[in-house]
Amino acid sequence: MNRGLALLIVLVVIVAALSLSWGDNGLAPQNLLAALRGEPIAAIIVGTVRAPRVATALLVGACLGVAGAITQAVMRNPLAEPGLLGINSGASLGVALLVIGAEGAIGHLMPLAGFAGAALAATAIYALAWRGGTSSIRLILVGIGIGAATGAVTSLLTVFGDIRDVQRALAWMAGSIYNADWAKLRWLAVWSLPALAITWCLARDLDLSAFDDDVSGALGLPLQTMRAVLIALCTLLAGASVAAAGPISFVGLLAPQLVRGLSSRHAIRLPAAALCGALLLGSADLVGRLVQLPAGLLTPVIGVPFIGLLLWRRRND
């Protein structure tokens, strides 16, 4: 096994163990040990409250890491991330329309609205970028435009909506794992695990996507078909993540970047990005529990300095 992958696995296990052991009274590893021994109270605390939250954070982070790796390969841009396909902005608009426009108890529909908004935004971007085929630059430009438009509509809704509805929508848009449970995790797993497996099977096609369109076609890659399939997989992974945890930024950008040096082959890079994404979001959720903040508000704290460092390193490009 690649040593980098092995190290990431160890780090993910450590973060998971710390998260399972952390409670209201601080770090208590004995709770985890008691749950493993089958003690009822500890089993309820760890198995019902903490475990689904930890597992959801790790799976959402893995999905965002792989979605980011797909986006960067398809768009041939190391600064690309799923948000360029309208995932976050579309999801936010979908939830804002539901919460501000509907009445009654609609909390259970918010994940569905977020997923639908993400999927519709990604579909619109791909359709508008199509000119007998798509190109990475058109996808980026159209994605920026659609993201700006949906963001403006969301802002308009939050300005004129009822203050209580707006607060509910903004709380969801912050991105958090706090309300995770086994039912939501099963839903996320049903959507994401097959997509993760299919993406790994297409690792060679992602390798070929790094070349120019003409070169990729000459090497036997059905470029437009494969690009559509990869964007659909990215939308499925990121959309399911948004539905489970709300819009969480920077993980899809950071995870593939941090593991880029491990290998040039996506057969290695994809699982590495998944593990790194799980590590980032699992750590953010753990720190968020310490300081009483949603994980979605902490990922930019890591992401913004990283973007500055990346731009500084490429200042002469």
Top pLDDT among 119 and 10 is at: 10
- Give the domain ranges of the chain: 3-313
Rounded average pLDDT over 93-97: 83
Sign of CA dihedral 273, 242, 140, 212: positive
The letter for the amino acid at 62 is A
pLDDT of residue 213: 66
- Give yes or no for residue 202 having a pLDDT over 60: yes
Query: What pLDDT band is residue 64 in, cutting at 50, 70 and 90?
Result: very high
| Structure tokens given for 192 | 């994401």
- State pTM to two decimals: 0.88
Q: Average per-residue pLDDT in the chain?
A: 82
* Out of 1-10, 209-218, 229-238, least confident range: 209-218
Which element (helix H / strand E) includes 26?
strand 26-27
pLDDT of residue 193: 92
Rounded average pLDDT over 295-299: 84
Taking the C-alpha atoms of residue 197 and residue 48, their distance in angstroms, rounded to an integer, is 27
Give the pLDDT confidence of 154-175 residue by residue, as tens digits: 888 888 777 887 787 787 778 8
Query: What pLDDT band is residue 317 in, cutting at 50, 70 and 90?
Result: low
- Give yes or no for residue 199 having a pLDDT over 70: yes
Cα separation values, 208 from 2, 131, 203, 212, 220, Å: 22, 22, 9, 9, 9
pLDDT of residue 141: 86
Give the pLDDT confidence of 305-316 residue by residue, as tens digits: 777 777 777 666
pLDDT of residue 56: 93
- Give yes or no for residue 54 having a pLDDT over 80: yes
- Give yes or no for residue 196 having a pLDDT over 90: yes
| Structure tokens given for 185 | 């995790």
Chain Cα centroid distance, residue 60: 6
Query: What pLDDT band is residue 198 in, cutting at 50, 70 and 90?
Result: very high
Superfamily of domain 3-313: ABC transporter involved in vitamin B12 uptake, BtuC (1.10.3470.10)
Give φ, ψ of 49 to 5 degrees: -100, -55
